[in-house]
Structure 1
Amino acid sequence: MFFIIPAMFTALAAFFNMQTSIVLIASFFIIKKLVFGGIFLTCGLPTLAGAATFALIQNDASNSDKYFSIVLRLLLPLTCMLLFIFHPIAGSAFLYSFYWFIPMILYFVKSKNVFIASLSSTFVAHAVGSILYLYSTNMADSQWLALIPVVAFERFVAAFGIALFYVTIKGIVVLCVNKYLRN
């Protein structure tokens, strides 16, 4: 259940423009908060960042979207890395933040490959979520280091889930268009 909702929203974002995607996802988290109450640690911000990244990669970007892509895929991960490295406790586990080089490197690949887009978006979401978690909880540097192999598996599964949802939804849309709109 942990990956299903974020993967679904991230995949769905590619079918809308970035602004619409952000509004839809933010609305979901607001409704979730109102209905279920409680405290949501990340408030859906990692999902928003990941979905916006995926939508920007999959959709043809306008010039303003290209600047936003630079912000999301280069500046945001870099900022998260710096916030992590200069944190008094997590700084000694700086290797953990090296995962966030992945979206920065993939930015220069310039591929619309679904898995590459999924991988980039899941690591942008991971960077945002990790920083929110870092500054709202108290974890030892050894715990951050112990998470490094877990994150590799977790993010691969998340990227696969996003790609799977996207391909499935796109297939259903194409099937429906071919069946109902072309006849």
Structure 2
Amino acid sequence: MKNKTLVSIFIFTFVGLISLQIPFSRVLGSNTKFTLFDFIAPSFGAVLGSVPGIFSVFLIQVVNIILHGKNFDFGGIIRIFPTLFAVFYFAKKRTANIIVPFLAIIAFNLHPIGRSAWQYSMFWLIPIASYFFRKNLFIRSLGATFTAHAVGGALWVWTFGLSKEIWLSLIPQTAMERLLFASGISVFYLLILNTLSFIFKKRILPLLPNIEKKYLYV
């Protein structure tokens, strides 16, 4: 791995670890919270590349568990994986971007409680549809956040169950929450790209090869 990639992974990991300490909202059925990290993590794969980005995001979450282990429940451990799939989705267009949410829908509906609240899993058709319109940054972000939501939802119903009433009552909240996440992912992606461009122009760090120049304004 090239030195500049290692340096970039270190910087992104440091920034990500800090952002993981800034809470946004609580995850239902767990002591875990959504954080600022959920807004910026998908950008890691697009900027660093899929594998380095996923590695960085995984490392950040493992280090966070080590630092706050006594305050983590099983839900917090499960929360590691959905974010990785959001990074994977946002980084590049590929067939797996359709397969993952499709499998999540199946997994959710194989559970008796999930099947009774099947309407909730229809959210996960969004990343499948977004696959075909990902040239639009907001749509791409929407696909990424709902991919994370799909993986998380499928894991959650098999781990905690909850009830039909709870799942269905979450539909309005989920819609608003994920629209906010998609907006945040889009904004922070633009911010990250343009910050990196500025740093490159100041010759502080070399410009990474995965920078999407159409989003640069500085």
Are 2:211 and 1:175 equivalent residues in the alignment? no
Question: What is the alpha-carbon distance in structure 1 between the residues aligned to residue 36 and residue 179 of structure 2?
Answer: 14
TM (norm. structure 2) is: 0.73
1:60 corresponds to which residue?
none
Distance apart, 1:175 and its partner CA: 2.2
CA contact (8 A) 1:41 1:133 kept: no
Are 2:131 and 1:107 equivalent residues in the alignment? yes
CA contact (8 A) 1:81 1:97 kept: yes
Are 2:152 and 1:120 equivalent residues in the alignment? no
Distance apart, 1:178 and its partner CA: 3.0
Where in structure 1 are there 5+ consecutive unaligned residues?
Answer: 58-68
Secondary structure of the corresponding residue to residue 14 of structure 1: helix
Q: Superposition pairs for residues 1-183 of structure 1, below 5 Å?
A: 1=23, 2-37=34-69, 38-39=72-73, 40-57=76-93, 69-71=94-96, 73-109=97-133, 111-180=134-203
TM (norm. structure 1) is: 0.86
The aligned amino acid for 1:17 is G
Count of matched residue pairs: 169
Deviations 1:27-80 (A, max 9, x none): 1111112221133241410110001111114xxxxxxxxxxx212x21111111
Distance apart, 1:4 and its partner CA: 0.8
Deviations 1:81-114 (A, max 9, x none): 01112211121110100011011111122x3222
2:28 corresponds to which residue?
none
Deviations 1:120-144 (A, max 9, x none): 1000000011111111113111111
Higher relative contact order (CA 8 A, sep 6+): 1
Distance apart, 1:26 and its partner CA: 1.0
Distance apart, 1:162 and its partner CA: 0.6
Where in structure 2 are there 5+ consecutive unaligned residues?
Answer: 1-22, 24-33, 205-218
